[in-house]
Copies of this chain bind each other. A is one copy, B any other.
């Protein structure tokens, strides 16, 4: 058994290469559609060599997911109860949109997993994500009742933000095929800003 030492320079490099390769392969083929060989080749290693660093395909996937989920939810966590409600939400939308542009593979990895029923992730969603969503939708509801933003079902509001922003990563191929060379991320920020501004700006009644 390998002792629990500090990781070697080689260990650090190879584990990083494997996770990077796994992100690429898992995000474009899903868990079952991805092969260990493909990941190994993409990482510049042989299959047994890869399996020297991770005990199994599933172990790679799990580490990738754990790593992803941490940063993935950061924007929502940093929704500030003391900020200006409308601007907080609009900033959250833009941050999520930027993540779709800068980390589309992470978004697609997540999408693949959820679309296929989240067999390896449902636990985390039902506990960690649920707690965060409960907290933040309560905050949204307070803002609504205080008249700071228009009323709407807070959870559906969150769903809509996720859906709209991640769509540009998950359906990237389709979006680009229909935009005739124009970069979708040119007009998307303004479109989403306008949408949520009109949606949420309090109508005085």
Binding site for B on A (CB under 8 A): 28-33, 108, 111-112, 114-118, 122, 125-126, 129-130, 133, 150, 152-153, 155-157, 159-160, 162-164, 167-168, 170-171, 173-175, 177-180, 184, 187-188, 190-191, 194-195, 198-199, 203
Contacts and interface: CB of A to CB of B under 8 A. Distances in A.
A38 B162 CA distance: 33
Best-buried of A28, A115, A117, A168 by chain B (most CB within 10 Å):
A115
Given A30-B29, A33-B32, A177 B116 contact: no
B177 A130 contact: yes
A35 B9 CA distance: 41
Nearest to A187: B153
29 contacts: A28-B117, A30-B32, A32-B32, A32-B33, A33-B116, A111-B111, A111-B171, A112-B115, A114-B170, A118-B173, A122-B177, A125-B174, A125-B178, A129-B174, A129-B177, A130-B178, A150-B198, A152-B194, A155-B179, A156-B191, A159-B167, A159-B171, A160-B164, A163-B163, A163-B164, A195-B195, A195-B199, A198-B198, A199-B199
Contacts of A112: 30, 112, 115-116
A177 B125 contact: yes
A57 B110 CA distance: 26
Contacts of A29: 30, 32-33, 116
A155 B118 CA distance: 30
